[in-house]
Structures are given as C-alpha cells and as structure tokens.
A and B are shown apart, each in its own frame.
Chain A
Amino acid sequence: MRRTTELSLLFVAVVVIVSTYVLASLGREAEIPANIFPFLGIIVALLIGAHIAVRRLAPMADGVLLPIAGLLNGVGYVFIARLDEDLAANQAMWTAIGVAAFVATLVVVDKVRLLDSYRYTFMVIGIILLLLPLLPGLGQTINGSRIWVSAGPFNFQPGEFAKIALAIFFAAYLVEHREVLAMSTYRLGPLHLPEPKHLGPLLLAWGASVLVMTAEKDLGSSLLFFVLFVTMLWIATERGSYLVVSSLLFMGGATLAWMRFEHVQDRVDSWIDPWADASGSGYQVIQASFSLANGGVTGTGPGLGRPDLIPEVETDFIFAAVGEELGLFGATAILVAFMLIIGAGLRIALTATQPFEKLLAAGITTLLGVQAFIIIGGVIRLLPLTGVTLPFVSYGGSSLLSNYILLALLLRISHESTARQMAPAKSGPRAKADA
C-alpha cells in the first residue's frame, strides 16, 4: 500500500519536474529542449530505481519521503540547468551517485542496530571529518570558509558527512547515558541541573561548534551541529533545563564570536542593514530580495527571471531563484515540501519503538529541517546568512550524497518499526510454526 502511494507520488513529481524543465527551456530559448527525452528517461530511471530498491529492501517504509526528496532534487536540478549547463551535468552525476548511495545505504544498513554497535567508530569518523578541513595542505578555503577538502580532482565538504556520523553517535551515546544525564541532583535557582560532570558532553559539543565557527568560519554548520546535539539531548533526557543552559551557552558563544571575529560581524551587519554596504557585503542578500520581489506571487515563469544576478545562486541561494521564477506559490511549495519531510520524519520517530531508532530518526529530521530553515532564513533575511546548502535542492555533490544517505536511514528506521508492529498480527502464526 505504502509503495503504491510512493509510486503515484513519484509519478506526480516526475510530471512537475519535467514540465518545469520544459518551461524553463522555453523561457530561455523559446524552443523545446532537444534532450528532453533523455532527460525524462534519466529522471524516471533514477526515481524508479530508488523506488524499486525501497520496494525490495525496505517495503514497509514511509511512502512520502522519497517522492518529496525526488521532487526537491528534480526542481533543484531544473534551476541549476537553467542557470548553468556545466554545473547541471555535474549535478546529474551527483544525483545518480546520491541515488546509488541511497540504495547502498539500504543494502548495507539492513538493521538499524548495526549503527548502534559502531557508535565510537562513528564518533571518531565524525570528529575527523569535522576537523579535516583544518589540516594544512588538505583543507581549502573557498568563499571565506575553510570547509572544503581537496583530494585529487574532487573537492568535498566533509562537514556534510560528519553530520551523519555525529547524529548516529549522539543517538547511541545519549540513549546509553540518558538516565544519568537526566538525573538532577544540582539546583540552580529554578533550574534542576545534572551534576556538573555530566554537563561535560554538552560543553564538548559546544566547544566543537565554536571551533567550527571560528577556525573554519562556517557559521551554518556550527549552528547546525549545536542545535542537533541540544535537540537530541533534550529528547533523550526530557530535561528542559538543558535547553535553557544550552541557549545561554549559545548566546554566550555567539556574542563572543560577534565581538571577536570580523567575519561574524560582517554577517550580522549585513543582516541588520544590508543597505549600509549595498555593493559589498550586503550585495548578495539584497540581490536575493530583489529577485524575490521580482517574482511576486506567481513568479516570472521558469527561465524568465534574472536569478543569475545573485552570486552563488546555484548553491546557497537556490531558494531565491525558485522564489523569483515560480513566485510565492513555488517558494511556498518548497516550504511545504520541507514541512512534509519534517512531519514524516518525526512520525517515524514517534512510531519507532526502540529508543535508539527514535532518537536517530528525530535527529535526522531535525538536521534536514533546521538546515533548510537556516539557509532559507538567511536568504530571505530572517536570520544572518550562514552558508549551508538547501537539502536536495542546492547544487553540490557532498550535500546531495549525504542527504540521500540520511533519507535512506530514515526509511530503514521506518521500515523496521513498521515491520515490528505488523509482526504479531501478520506473521504471528508463522512465528508459532517456527517455534
């Protein structure tokens, strides 16, 4: 049943993606693109491939997530193709690799428990990946952030993969230590705090995210890691005091960074008043605002706007391109798509029976939701701009790959908990027979 839903939704996604692609080409060249059938073929092949993989490997998984991710990926691709043909070729390749990684994850992680048992391996991997860009000779500074690693012909952002490893580690660690961490033996005014020594992990996570912010100048990832950890800590311990303490820590760290570091000040200044340096630091976000204003309610139509006037529009600012050419309607559709991902992801977390699965599903969903919120908020000047990608939509191999892996993990968790719930009813007699 869920797979039939998935298939029909995938069909809708394909229709939307292909018609946007045709319209975008018409908008620019006034003719139907010559490669429309190969394009259609590839899209259908990739999505159907992913669908078949889910059908075989995780048949009881949620049926909404894959079509929505496919839709976001496809719409993102159409906009990248409309903005830059060369990048589109890369993105197509990365999409294929992303879908392959999705399938591979479903194959390799056949039991969620598997992840739990490698928790410290994941911790080490996560920390290494997080700090990799700082290694001299390997790390690359691009656009002011030292978040790239160069290996041969490829550049990749290890932070994108660190977030997977860390989410798994956090889930495993927190489930194991949740009771100790939840004990409140220590009172500070209205707050019930755990013993100071149990605040260690929180301080460690805070320190790591401050390090990422200052050494790698990557505000977005720093914020993302911290929010991820705190959210998971709160869910695991059910202690609101952690939220209070970590908010204070966050504000302290943010204020300190703002006072001490010029790149943080620049971001904040151009958020508060981008017009103060309209041709410099405020340029990008101002152009994005102009772009969105130009789009209005219904948009200019694909291929008919000028999102190319925004620097980095294919990556961090892809949302502005969608908003300009598809209007408030299209931009809202993107928001709704992410809300559906969040809804489906948290539903998986709620129905999961094992604490580890529950926490991991909630963590992954938080990652996707918060990352989307941070970058969209930055683009539309609700938050200071922090350079993270819009999951599934932005150009970028690392991001696409890691988000497809996260998606596969979510579906794996979904399948297992559904299967477990169905087990007594469906396979009850057979279980008896086995016994």
Chain B
Amino acid sequence: MNSQIRRVGLGLSVCFLVLFAQLNWLQVFGASRLETHATNTRAIVRDFGRPRGTIATADGVIIARSIEVESSLGRERQYPEGDLYAHTTGAFTFNFGATGVEKIYNELLAGQTDEQKYGDLSALLEDGDTTGNLTLTLRDDVQRVAREALGDRNGSVVALDPRDGSILAMWSYPSYDPNTVATVDLAAASTSWDTLRSQDPTAPDLAKAYRQTFPPGSTFKPVTAAAALSNDIADANSPSFPASSGYTAPLTTSTIGNFGGSTCGGDIAEGIRISCNTIFAELGAEYVGPVLMREQAENFGFNEAPPIDLTASVASVFPEDFGAHLRPSDKNPDISIVENTPALAQASIGQFEVRASPLQMALVAAAITNGGIIMEPHVLSEVRNVKGEQIEEYKPSVWKSAMVTSVAEAMRQMLLTTATNGTAVGLQVPGFEVGGKTGTAETFSTTNDTHAWIIGFGGPVGEASTVAIAVMVEAFPGGGQQTGGGTAAPIAQAVLAAALQPLTAQLGEG
C-alpha cells in the first residue's frame, strides 16, 4: 500500500505544480493580454466614481466631461454634443466598459499613469487632482459641416491632415447619443445598450468610418495606377489603351463595361480623369498582375488595421490569392496570368473582394498628396493637467511609405486634373488647389443600388495639401446609381471647404 500512497502524493504534487504553472500564466506572463482585453471593465469600474478629465476639440469645444451627481456612483460622464463625436470619444459606461478615446486614453483621463501619479510630488502629497484634460485634433466647425452635409443618408466622412495624420473630422451616419449608455441611471443605460445590441451588426454605435469596410469602386483605381507606375510598367502617358466599351479578361467571356455603357480609352492619366473601367481592369489584370497589385495595396495600408488611437479599427482588404500561375501575360511577360485573373480585373477597379474603410481611402488620398508617405492617423493632440500644463503631446510618426515621391507626384497631378477637368470637378474649392477621384461601387445586391465614393485633397495653391478627405454614401434599396461625382462630391466639397479655413478657437463651454 505504501508505494501506492507515495504515488498518490507524487500525483497530487504534479497536479499542484500544474496549478502553479497556470497561475503564473494568468497572473504574470499572460496578464497584460487579459488586462487590456476589450471586455475587461475593471479599470473602468475602478475609475468610474473618480475625477476624470475633459475631452475637447482642437477649437475648444468640450465634448466629454464628468459631473458630480447625486448617485452612489459619484460622477456621471456626459457628452454635451450628443451624437456628434460618439464614434470618436466612445462612451465611458459602468456596465459595458469603454470604447474610443475613453478606452484608449483611460489612464491619462483618470490621472492614473505613473507620470501623473508620481511625476508631481506636490500632487502626491496633497492627494491632488492628477487627471488629464485631452485636446483632440478634430475641429468642431468641420465636424458640424460633415454632419450637416451628409444629412440622413447612411455614410461616412473622414477628413485628415496628410502632413501629420491628424483627424480633422470623422462622422458616420447613423450615430448615437453616448449619454444614453453612460448615464448613472443604470437601468436606463442597460435598456439603451440592449436596444443598440439588438440592431447589430449595423447598430449606430458602430463607427463605420474606421470599423466597417465597403467595396471602394473607382476610388481604388489610383492604387492600380500607382502599382503600374511604381514598378515601371507604365507611366501616366503610356501605354495608351484602345477605346473600348468593354474589357474581357483572359479565361472568361464576361465583360467589364464602363459606367453608363460608354466607350473610353487612352493613357492612365486619361483613365483617372474620366474613370475609365476598361483601362484599369486591363492594366491590373494583364500588366501589373496579382503579386504587384497586392504589394501596392498593402503599401497603402490594405490588409492591416490602421494604427489609429481608437478601439477596434478594421483592416481594409485586398485579396491575398488569385490562384496559381498559368502562363506569362501577353501584355507583360514578366507577370502571370493566373487562375483567377478575371477576378483580378474586377479587383483592379475596386470590386470583387476588395474592401476599404472610409479611413483607409482617406489615407490613400493622403499618400498621393503627401509624397507617398502615410502618417499614422490619430485623434489625440495633447494632454494638459488641471493646472493647464502640457503633460503629453502626440508625436506624429510614419505608418506607410506607399510610393516613391515621383510616383506620388505623378498621381497627384492626375487627381488635380480630375478635379479641374474630370469626374471630380464637384470637389473644387475656389482659391485652393484641389484634387480628387470619384467612385461608384457595385454592391453585388440583386438591385443596381451603388455606393457613392469620393477621395480627395486640398491646400493652398503651390503648397503642400493640408486636408485629405474620403466620403462615402452607402447604397440603399431604391437608391439606384448614386455616383461619386453626383452624390459624394458635394458633401466632400463642403467639408473640404470648411477644413481649408484656418482654425479659429471658439470659446470653450467648460
């Protein structure tokens, strides 16, 4: 019996050692993954009743603040602008955690970073208020224009400064009022939350501007063009594609037509100006090929979530695989005709399985006007303590190098022409240098309803652009052929015009 008893002891010891190992994983090695998990509301609950800094726009409008209330929770987080900034600030809720800026900069707002807690010894001794007040890069004047211009059409507007990645405006309709879920009336908050969740996956608290992707349609053509230019396969003026009303890719009999059944042809610059499908379908499928197309798309940031300082931004998609090599292309022997070349032709005009978030398309415009460089998009400008001293400043950094400067400059010229004498003329802002590219994306629904897109940029004549923009208006049943030039351009034009005006500080409310 004794040898069995010893083995029981050995067995139990092994069991407890395994417990110890798992405990180490939970408490030490895997702890940070758990602590930052989206559903982990511990830090939020801890901070709920404590003082919390304000969030303000670049022009001084307070968009989130904490007010002491008569409730066991102590304080309530309020959003004076209602739905206007909901997708950026997110909501700071008791039961459902936090999203957006409230989540990402929670420690700074709550005054819980080590620097805030221990940086100022006097505050430590006085048990002082260490909270941080955030200033965002968003401009209230531009944001309001975006909301007004889009109206009650489902869609998104993203405007940013291509030079440093600052988001100037970001609006999606529908939005929601974060006060309804942040209220200290927890029963009401729960009801509101359940209502939102019952509408998933299209609930209005989904920040579509950076959290949903759509087929980008013709706004993707600059990516295809850049792929050709970057790899010396073509330049803006050669080759010239014959005029055609339809392109039939190798291995298929079905034809890609032009918008409205028109006939068009010419060089790449002409193709961009009039948004000629047949040119880019052929260019992508038979000149550039799947490998270089994907490489260029990824250089623009596709297949990777933009590192914006908000929660759960999504990656835009360029398909990874178009099948195996079949034979060299007749047009460019260096590249392959592959099994799925017909799909590649579709992908080259932003259809097939290509998907882009409005933020990603704004970054494409930014890259074109910023010498090929994409800065990390961000909403934080700076943080100040309660005494008004700056304790943190956002430092811009490069995210992607999409193209070499010469290619970017060539692309920029094409988009400038498109806005002066092409499909994007609706984007013009008098007195400024404006470029753009429209898009009309098919949705693969049974109807002909289309998404309307436009991307663009603008700035003082002869100088670097100060604004890059993307607007998309979603297809809706019975909406028919909404075009980028007709539907999206006026919205983008209004927002661009507002964003090009210099920043004027408003009187803060708080």
Q: Which residues of B contact A286 (CB under 8 A)?
A: 39
B23 partner residues in chain A, CB cutoff 8 A: 292, 323, 328, 331-332, 335, 380
Say whether chain A's binding surface is mostly helix, strand, loop, or mixed: helix
Residues of B within 8 A of A290 (CB): 34-35, 37, 40, 42
Cβ–Cβ contact B16 & A335, under 8 A: yes
Say which one of A18-26, A189-197, A337-345 lies at the interface with B: A337-345
Return A351 CB to nearest CB of chain B, in Å: 10
Q: Which of B20, B22, B30, B46 contacts A293 (CB 8 A)?
A: B30
Contact digits for B38-60, partner A, Cβ 8 Å, 1 yes 0 no: 01111001100000000000000
Complex: A331 Cα to B45 Cα, angstroms: 24
Q: Which B residues are CB-close (under 8 A) to A342? A: 9, 12-13, 16
Asked if B19 CB lies within 8 Å of chain A CBs, one says yes
20 A–B contacts, CB within 8 A, in A order: A235-B1, A235-B4, A275-B39, A286-B39, A289-B26, A292-B26, A293-B34, A295-B27, A297-B27, A328-B24, A335-B20, A339-B12, A339-B13, A350-B5, A366-B12, A376-B19, A377-B15, A377-B19, A380-B19, A380-B26
- Quick check: is A362 within 8 A (CB to CB) of the other chain? yes
**Which 3 residue pairs spanning A and B have beta carbons closest together?**
A293-B34, A293-B31, A235-B4
A339 in contact with B6 (CB, 8 Å): no
- B-side interface residues toward A, CB under 8 Å? 1-6, 8-9, 12-13, 15-16, 18-20, 22-24, 26-28, 30-32, 34-35, 37, 39-42, 45-46
Q: Which residues of A contact B46 (CB under 8 A)?
A: 306
Set of chain A residues within 8 Å of B19, measured between Cβ atoms: 335, 373, 376-377, 380, 382
B462–chain A nearest beta-carbon distance, Å: 54
Given A290-B34, A306-B45, are A359 and B9 also a contact pair (CB < 8 Å)? Answer: no
State whether B15 touches A332 (Cβ < 8 A).
Answer: no
In the bound complex, do residue A346 and residue B9 qualify as a contact, i.e. CB atoms below 8 Å apart? yes
Q: Whole-angstrom distance between the alpha carbons of A279 and B39 in the complex?
A: 9
Smallest Cβ distance from B196 to chain A, in angstroms?
Answer: 14
Q: Across the interface, do A323 and B12 meet the contact criterion of CB distance under 8 Å? A: no
Asked if A373 and B12 make an inter-chain contact with CB atoms under 8 angstroms apart, the answer reads yes
Interface residues of A in 278-317 (CB under 8 A from B): 278-279, 286, 289-297, 306, 309
Specify the chain A residue showing the minimal Cβ separation from B35.
A293
Contacting B42 at CB < 8 Å: which of A309, A331, A359, A365?
Answer: A309
Nearest CB of chain A from residue B311's CB, rounded to whole Å = 16
How many Å lie between the Cα of A291 and that of B40 in the bound state? Answer: 10
Question: Is the beta-carbon distance between B12 and A369 smaller than 8 angstroms?
Answer: yes
What is the minimal beta-carbon distance from A173 to any residue of chain B, in angstroms? 15
Complex Cα–Cα for A192 and B26 (A):
43
CA distance A342 to B39 in the complex (A): 38
A380 and B8 contacting across the interface, CB-CB below 8 Å: no
Which residue in chain B gives the minimum CB-CB distance to A308? B45
Q: Does residue A358 face the partner (Cβ distance < 8 Å to B)?
A: yes
Q: Are A292 and B27 neighbours in the complex by a CB distance under 8 Å?
A: yes
Once the chains bind, are B9 and A343 in contact (CB under 8 Å)? Answer: yes
Q: Which of A294, A331, A339, A349 contacts B35 (CB 8 A)?
A: A294
Measured in the bound complex, the distance between the Cα atoms of B26 and A299 in whole Å is 13
Closest residue on chain B to residue A351 by CB atoms: B2
Query: Is A257 part of the contact surface with B, judged by Cβ < 8 Å?
Result: no
In the complex, what distance in Å separates the CA atom of A291 from the CA atom of B31?
Answer: 10
- Partner of B8 from A231, A275, A291 at Cβ < 8 Å: A231
Alpha-carbon gap, A359 to B4, bound state (A):
11
* Structural contact, B42 and A381, CB atoms closer than 8 A: no
Query: What A residues does B27 contact at CB under 8 A?
Result: 292-293, 295-297, 323, 327-328, 331
Most chain A CB within a 10 A radius of its CB, from B19, B20, B27, B46 = B27
User: Given the complex, which residues of B lie within 8 Å of A231, measured CB to CB?
Assistant: 8
Knowing A295-B27, A355-B1, A380-B22, say if A350 contacts B6 (CB, 8 Å): yes
Residues of chain A whose beta carbon lies under 8 Å from any beta carbon of chain B: 231, 234-236, 238, 275, 278-279, 286, 289-297, 306, 309, 323, 327-328, 331-332, 335, 338-339, 342-343, 346, 349-350, 355, 358-359, 362, 365-366, 369-370, 373, 376-377, 380-382
Shortest distance from the beta carbon of A393 to any chain B beta carbon, whole Å: 14
Cβ distance A328 to chain B, nearest Cβ, rounded Å = 4
A290 to B31, CA, bound (A): 8
B31 nearest CB neighbor, chain A only: A293
Q: Are B16 and A373 in contact (CB under 8 A)?
A: yes
Assess A362 versus B8: contact at CB under 8 Å? Given A236-B1, A306-B46, A339-B16: yes
**Least CB distance, A3 to chain B, in whole angstroms:** 25
Residues of A with C-beta under 8 A to B41? 309
Collect the chain A residues with CB atoms within 8 Å of residue B6's CB: 346, 350
Contact among A296, A309, A370 with B31 in the assembled complex (CB-CB below 8 Å): A296
In contact, A332 and B20 (Cβ under 8 angstroms): yes
- Which of B22, B32, B39 is the one whose CB lies under 8 Å from A382? B22
- Provide the residues of chain B in CB contact with A377, threshold 8 Å: 15, 19, 22
Complex: chain A residue closest to B9, CB-CB: A346
Chain A residues contacting B16 (CB-CB under 8 Å) are: 335, 338-339, 342, 369, 373
Q: Which residue of B lies closest to A332 (CB)?
A: B20
Tell me, in angstroms, the Cα distance from A362 to B22 when the chains sit together: 27
B5–A349 CB distance below 8 A: yes
Residue of B nearest to A320 (CB): B26
Residues of B within 8 A of A306 (CB): 42, 45-46
Chain B proximity of A342: nearest CB distance (Å) = 5
- Which of chain A's residues have a CB closer than 8 A to the CB of B24? 328
Given contacts A293-B26, A382-B19, A382-B22, contact A278 B39 (CB under 8 A): yes
Which residues of chain B have C-beta atoms less than 8 A from A358's C-beta? 1, 5
Tell me, in angstroms, the Cα distance from A294 to B37 when the chains sit together. Answer: 12
Taken together as a complex, chains A and B put the C-alpha atoms of A19 and B1 apart, in Å, by 43
Chain A nearest Cβ from B181, distance in angstroms: 15
Residue among B12, B24, B41 with max Cβ neighbours from chain A (10 Å): B12
